[in-house]
Amino acid sequence: MNRRALILTASAAALSACAPLRQRPELAALGFRGPRLTDDGFISFDGAQLGLMRWLPASEPEWVIVGLHGMNDYSNAYHLAADWWAGRGIATYALDVRGFGRSPERGVWASADLVIEDVRLLVEAVRERHPGAKVALAGVSMGGGLAISAMSSADPPRADKVLLFAPAVWGWSNQPLPNKLSLWITAHTAGGWVVKPPEWLVREVMPSDNIDELRRMGRDPLMIWGARSDTLYGLVGLMERAWRSTGAVAAPVAWFYGANDHIIPRAPTVEAAGRLKPGARTAYYPKGYHLLLVDRQAETVWSDAEAFLRDAPAAWPPSGVPAIPDSVAAMTALDPPKVDKRRVSQGQPSGL
C-alpha cells in the first residue's frame, strides 16, 4: 500500500471512530409500572418521561389523532389544528419527540427505531384510554418522516389511518454532493457543533405566510433554534428511510403538500408520494407553505384532514385542490405566472 493510500485509510478509520452522538434508552427504575399516560406526559418503555399535549372534545371522540411534530419544534405545533378538531369531536395527543420540547436530552438525536417504539406504545396507551375510538397517526415535516418510518416498520403502530403534512423525505439520495460531504465530516468530527442558518436564508425562506404564528414561535422557549451537526446527520438518515419506505405503508394515507414549500423540495416529494399504495390520497395547495397546519389558509387543510378521517361521501378533498402532480414539471405548470419586475418598475400597476 502506498503512503497516500495508507494516510487516507487511517484518516477514514479515525473519522469512523468518531460516531455521531445518539440518545440511548434509559434504565427504568426498580418497580417500573410500564408505559402509560400521565397528566402532562407519556412514560415510555424505559421510564423516559416524554412531553405530551392533548386537546379533548366535550364528549368521547370517534377519532383520536396522535401527532408528531417537525424538526426543532414540539407538540405545540398542533395547537391551532387540534383546537379546531376538538370542536368537531376529534381528540389530539401530540408528543414531544425525544430530544425536543420537554423530552429528555434536548437537542440530541434519538434513533428512528427508539422513537418508533415510543410512538407504537403511545398509540397503544391512547387506544386503552379511548377504546371506542379509531386512531390516526399524524406527522408534520420530520414527524411525517417518523410516521412513514413507523408505519412501514416490521411492527407498526396500530393506527387506522395516516396523515402526512409536508413529510420530510429529503434524504441522502436527493441531497447535493456538497451537503453530503460536509454533513458527514462535521457529524463525525464535530458532532456538537451547532449549525444555525444564515440570516439571509432565514429572510428568504418562509416556512409559513402566518407571520403572527412565526413570531410566536420565535418567542417560545421550548423551540430550538439551530441544530447539532450530528442531529442533522440523523435527520437526513431518517428522511432517506422515509423516502424509500412509502410503498410499505399499509394503512390508508393522506399526504398534504404546499406549492410554496421551500423546505422539503418538490422532486423527493413527487418520488415518495408516487410510491404510495393505490388508493392513497394526496392534496396540493396552491396557497400552502411548509407549515400547513398554521398557514393563513390552514383551516382548509384541517377540514380536508377531517373529511379524510370521516370518509365523507363527497369527493375528496372538499377544498377542491388538486392531487400532488406526478412530476416536478407538472407541479411547475400549476404555478401562477411570475411577475415581470422590470415592467412593474417602469410604471406598471403593482397591485398593491
Given CATH 3.40.50.2000, say whether it is the number of domain 30-345.
no
Q: What's the pLDDT at 101? A: 97
Mean pLDDT of 212-225: 95
Give residue 313's pLDDT band: very low, low, confident or very high (50, 70, 90).
confident
This prediction's pTM = 0.90
**Taking 90 as the threshold, does the pLDDT of residue 83 lie above it?**
yes
Q: What's the pLDDT at 59? A: 96
CB 194 within 8 A of CB 269: no
**Taking 60 as the threshold, does the pLDDT of residue 102 lie above it?**
yes
Of the given ranges (14-28, 46-60, 89-103, 105-119), which has the lowest mean pLDDT? 14-28
Give the integer Cα–Cα distance in Å for 81 and 271: 28
CB 292 within 8 A of CB 285: yes
**Taking 50 as the threshold, does the pLDDT of residue 8 lie above it?**
no
Which residue is associated with the grid cell 412531553? 51
Structure-model confidence comparison of residues 8 and 58, the more confident one: 58
The tens digit of pLDDT for each residue in 254-278 reads 999 999 999 999 999 999 999 999 9
Kindly tell me the sign of the dihedral angle through the C-alpha atoms of 100, 270, 274, 184: negative
The tens digit of pLDDT for each residue in 47-68 reads 999 999 999 999 999 999 999 9
Residues composing the chain: 352
Percent of the chain past pLDDT 70, that is, above it, reads 89
Give the integer Cα–Cα distance in Å for 289 and 301: 11
Mean pLDDT of 273-290: 97
Give residue 30's pLDDT band: very low, low, confident or very high (50, 70, 90).
confident
Instruction: Please list the helix, strand and coil fractions of the chain in percent, rounded to the nearest 5, in that order.
Output: 40, 15, 45
Give the integer Cα–Cα distance in Å for 24 and 110: 7
Q: Which of 269, 291, 280 is nearest to 317 (CA)?
A: 280
State the chain's mean pLDDT as an integer: 90
Cell of 263: 423546505
Where do the domains of the chain lie? 30-345
Give the integer Cα–Cα distance in Å for 96 and 67: 9
Give residue 336's pLDDT band: very low, low, confident or very high (50, 70, 90).
confident
Helix 79-86 crosses helix 298-310 at what angle (to 10 degrees)? 50
The tens digit of pLDDT for each residue in 143-202 reads 999 999 999 999 999 999 999 999 999 999 999 999 999 999 999 998 888 887 767 556
Q: What's the pLDDT at 202? A: 63
H helix intervals, the chain: 3-17, 79-86, 112-129, 142-151, 177-189, 199-204, 211-219, 229-245, 266-274, 298-310, 328-334, 341-345
